[in-house]
Structure 1
Amino acid sequence: MHQGLSLRTSQHLALTPQLQQSIRLLQLSTLELAQEVEQQLADNPFLERDSDPAEDDAPGLPHADTPVSLGDRLSEAAAGIAADLPVPASRQDSDGHSENPGDAALHDGHAEEPHPDSPALDWDGDGSVDIAPHDSEWGNDAPAATMHSSGSHGEPDHSDPADWNSAPLTLQAHLHQQALGLRLPPTQQAALYALIESLDDDGYLSEALPELAAALVAPPHASQGHPGTPAQRQAQQAELEQLLASALPHLQQMDPTGVGARNLAECLRLQVLELRNSPAARAALALCEQPLDLLARRDTKRLSALCGCDEASVRAGLAVIARLEPKPGRRFAQVERNAIVPDVVVRRSGSGFMVELNPDVVPRLHLHDRYASALRGHKGDSASGLPQRLQEARWFIKNIQQRFDTILRVSRAIVERQRGFFVQGELAMRPLVLREIADELGLHESTISRVTSAKYMATPWGTYELKYFFGSGLGTDSGTHTSSTAVRALIRQLIASEPPTHPLSDQQLSDLLKAQGIDCARRTVAKYREALRIAPASLRKNKPLSP
């Protein structure tokens, strides 16, 4: 074995903490970035935001108008039910303790998940504690987004009381208003209250009555007395279940029709019962008792055999069911909870388009002048780690600025490449891949992929994810390529204009596309149709296309 020394040169990429943070911030969504900014503001004393309000010095005032939680209101309702129930005679055990099932109460536990701490990085400061010119505030010209009412930061809510009536009405509030007009005994009124508060967002009573009654009966704390025997608690649970069952018909007669149903079949049945008595309604009522998979497949032959009626009546009943609402609580849904906040806004400007960042998502951050000035007098104090924290704050501000600059550059390149879409709509979309934008901007494809993920652009045609503007191309007779997005839009347009009695099959759609010079196979048409969530031709017959 021969030993010796050799010299070899090699190159490798070292990801510094600054570069790691820049990559991580680039792929965060708007909500995740806001959470990251809040975490940095809490951890780093050198970071500051101008929109932070002064804390209220008066103790107890922030909680003066705090609404009662759902658990507390449900507890009061359950306590009212239990208080008015006939209590079995109490008995004494061998130790002389009195057992009374009327002492049972509702327990409402809330578990909070601890917020995971972000891993500490090894930030190497340059030893400088002076504020450099580039340490000025980022996003100074953009007003920061503020949270109101229940927000933890931002300006206090100074809303006009006249605007309170325009607040969206929840399903529970709508049902409680109707319950006020019912003359029910106190125990049944409390049971109805518990049922209303147990509904999900779609208006269904997803929890079974025995489970709901078991949740209302719970042993009290040891300080409140003896919890009672299992037999007594079981007897009270049975009485609570009977009360809930007696209050359920009152709930199912309320508006919207179908609310309080335990499943889809019951929801449809409740809505059919409200219709005018007709042969079609009677057929629809019989269809609601059949397996739902047969209704979904519109299997008229099997449904006709199960219901004992002809296929014409079955088709009439299916037409009635198709007009029903499968989710009664849909119109009360809080759609603003799922609202998408765009990162970039595109506006028309003369004959072109103006692309700019949404000022509501740009954080306004700068270094804390007072703390940085105090550290300036202790330049040699590096053991405390404060110079490293100052350097970390500087890099965070720079990485935030670099993130939004990259998003803006990529967005402008997309608008320039997809100009036809912004003028004519999605039918004018052209093929585009990540490599084209990467080569134009001098960036890597992975960077473009991170920028276009979970980032949204507000356009004159709606709000779209940046990835929406990228798509493969399909060949045409002229030798060019058309975007797959434009082909999907054309398929949707063809299906929307098809006759209801003779829907177009996937092969017919493929032939129509070929007639327009687009080479699209039947399998590709089926894939695009499923991506658009459009049913096949057999299920679209005599059924209008959902918007």
Structure 2
Amino acid sequence: MKTGYGLELVQSQRLSLTPEMKQALMVLQMSAVDLRDLILEQVQENPLIELEDDYTEESLSTEEDGIDDELLSYFLDSAEPVQDLSRNTDPAVNRVYEPSTSRVAVSLRDYLTAQVGVIPMSSGEKAAVAAIIGSLDDNGYLRAEPGEISRLSGQSKETVERALRVVQSLDPPGVGAADLRECLSLQAKAMGKTGLEIKLIDGHLEDLAAGRYKRIAKEQGVTVSEVLSAKNFILKLDPKPGAAFSPFPIAYIVPEVAVRRVGGDLRVEMNDRAIPRIRWNRYYRELARRGDKEARSYLRHEIKRAQNLMKCIEQRKTTLIRVMEAIIARQKSFFVEGPGCLEPLTLKDISEEIGVHESTVSRAVANKYVDTTYGVLPCKTFFSPRVRKSRTALSQDTVKAAIAEIVKAEDSMNPLGDQEICRELEKRGMRVARRTVSKYRAELGIMPKMKRKSV
């Protein structure tokens, strides 16, 4: 067969998205903060639209409610891997340390450098201190060896050691440590601790993680209660002293929807203050009708852009209301009885009910929050798959909540095993396999029976 080049016409069908459809999908998936930024940007670019007079751009609160993830994640993500530090299910023990949620404008390096400026030092020590501060990571740990610091600063190792002691004396306590143990030890010493707490940090973190309190007490010649008291003090220390100066942007949460009980009914209310309201600019609207040809051409193009944006925003609002009304109808027990009463619910269930594709429901609830009687929650909270191999319709979140409640109420001297938790669940009308309990317990961050034992 002879090969060669040529031209030919082929007729085919393809599904493509128009710019308007792409914008609609983008707007639907945006959070309230992102959509507000988009609207404010369009108001600056498009002369045909303007903000309504009664809208004022209020500054969002920088406070964040709640506590960060389990303390374990802070220790495991620190300088060195350490076993779980006694993850007890008691919130008073398990979540003692509350990391700072405030973010300051100054960076960690600038904050430390400002403190160094008032400390009398030689020029060599200042050069070494600058090299050390420049080698800190975002959590405040020193990621460079003394020899490397010596080469970077051109100073002797003795000068580097003196400079390191200066950095480790700065605020926040624990900064400049090479690993987790040193970080915790620096903080404990800064708080005046010199006894058992320091000994546990230096040589018994793994034993604390495994709950071997009797072994620690025997080796240190103290009582178990003293070991537990020292452990609780260690849990209050900050494993990431530089995290409060993180350069990452703050993710604000603005609930767009509120669910309120009116009499015996549940109603969906939109938060009209979450998104700026826009209107037509009368002057440019009139200019689009009576201006010269070039002005009319430009302004009519901008009119079309503004109409598409307004249409996308209205469609987004309508879709979000329909999705939330369908969720409320399926999860009425949650809003009436409270958390722990979620029914099994999937994106497919809602999409079939309101007659849209699953991806549309997914975009509608993405990055959205709802204000309920029980707090501000992500819209995705109400979607919970059904527990497999269960004889009754149980959502995973309901079973997990029950497991957490059972473990919290157990005797810390004699904690329950997975099979015993199964029996307790069955008493509540939840027939779940032991393997399922083990899986959910691990997902909740609850340690096995032996590691939950207090003494």
Q: Pairwise CA RMSD of aligned residues?
A: 4.6
Displacement of 1:513: 1.1
C-alpha displacement at 1:250, in angstroms? 3.6
Structure 1 residues 177 and 314: CA distance shift in structure 2, 3 A:
farther
- Which of 173, 178, 182 matches 1:262? 178
For the structure 1 residues 296 and 445, does the alpha-carbon distance in structure 2 shift closer, same or farther, using more than 3 Å as the test? farther
- Asked if 1:252 corresponds to 2:164, the answer is no
Query: Alignment partner for residue 259 of structure 2, among 346, 356, 359?
Result: 346
Matched ranges for 1:69-218 at <5 A: 143=55, 145-147=57-59, 184-185=120-121, 187=123, 202-206=139-143
1:320 maps to 2:322: no
CA contact (8 A) 1:344 1:356 kept: yes
Who is 2:154 aligned against? 237
2-structure distance, mates of 1:424, 1:197: 53
**Equivalent residues of 2:174, 2:241 under 8 A apart:** no
Q: Secondary structure at the match of 2:254?
A: coil
Is the CA contact 2:33–2:252 (under 8 Å) kept in the aligned structure 1?
no
Asked if 1 retains the 8 angstrom alpha-carbon contact of 2:48 and 2:303, the reply is: yes
Determine whether 1:20 maps to 2:22.
Answer: yes
Distance change in 2, residues 1:196/1:463 (3 Å)? farther
Instruction: Say if 2:32 and 2:368, in contact at 8 Å, map to a contact too.
Output: yes
Distance 1:213 1:341 in 2: 49
The Cα offsets for residues 416-458 of structure 1, whole Å up to 9 and x where unpaired, read as: 4323222332122222233443344333332212111221112
User: Aligned to 2:155, what secondary structure does the other structure show?
Assistant: helix
Residue 485 of structure 1 and its aligned partner are, at CA, apart by 1.3
User: Equivalents in 2 of 1:265, 1:207: separation in Å?
Assistant: 17
**Is residue 443 of structure 2 the alignment partner of residue 527 of structure 1?**
no
Aligned counterpart, 1:426: 339
1:464 to 344, 362, 377: 377
Task: Encode CA deviations 1:493-542: one digit per residue, 9 max, x unaligned.
Answer: 11112222333222322222123221211222222223323333343332
Q: Determine helix, strand or coil for the equivalent of 1:481.
A: coil
2:432 partner SS: coil
Partner of 2:39 in structure 1? 37
SS in 1 for 2:321: helix
Aligned residues of 2:173 and 2:241 also touching (Cα < 8 A)? no
Name the structure 2 match of 1:158.
Answer: none
Post-superposition Cα deviations, 1:34-86, rounded to whole Å, max 9, x if no partner, equal 443355445544343357xxxxxxxxxxxxxxxxxxxxxxxxxxxxxxxxxxx
Change (3 A) 1:194 1:475: closer
The aligned residue for residue 454 of structure 2 is 542
Cα separation, partners in 2 of 1:367 and 1:243, compared to 1, 3 Å: farther
**How far apart, in 2, do the equivalents of 1:384 and 1:372 lie?**
12
Q: Give the corresponding residue for 2:67.
A: none
Counterparts in 2 of 1:532 and 1:183: CA distance versus 1, 3 Å: same
Offset at residue 394 of structure 1 (A):
0.7
User: What one-letter code is carried by the residue in structure 1 that aligns with 2:339?
Assistant: E
Deviation at 1:297, TM superposition (A): 5.5
Secondary structure (helix, strand or coil) at the match of 1:502 reads coil
For residues 42 and 214 of structure 1, the distance between their equivalents in structure 2, rounded to whole angstroms, comes to: 51
**Equivalent residue runs for 1:250-399 within 5 Å:** 250-253=166-169, 257-271=173-187, 273=189, 278=195, 280-281=196-197, 283-287=199-203, 294-295=206-207, 298=210, 310=219, 320-321=230-231, 323-324=233-234, 325-327=237-239, 329=241, 332=244, 337-377=250-290, 386-399=299-312
Larger radius of gyration: 1
Question: Is the CA contact (8 Å cut-off) linking 2:129 and 2:160 kept in structure 1?
Answer: yes
Where does structure 1 lack aligned partners over 5 or more consecutive residues?
1-9, 52-139, 150-166, 216-235
Determine if the alignment matches structure 1 residue 401 to structure 2 residue 314.
yes
Matches of 2:140 and 2:412, distance apart in 1:
31
Alignment of 1:504 with 2:441, yes or no, is no
Measured after TM superposition, the shift of residue 376 of structure 1 is 1.4
Change (3 A) 1:434 1:267: same
The 1:268–1:11 alpha-carbon spacing in structure 2 relative to 1, beyond 3 Å, is closer
Looking at structure 1, the residues matched to 293 and 188 of structure 2 have their Cα atoms a distance apart, in angstroms, of 81
TM-score, normalised with respect to structure 1: 0.59
Whole-Å separation in 1 of the counterparts to 2:283 and 2:151: 58
Alignment partners' CA distance in 1, 2:453 and 2:13 = 64
Native 8 Å contact 1:284 1:314 kept in 2? no
Alpha-carbon separation, structure 1, partners of 2:133 and 2:150? 14
Within 5 A, what are the aligned runs for 1:438-477?
Answer: 438-474=351-387
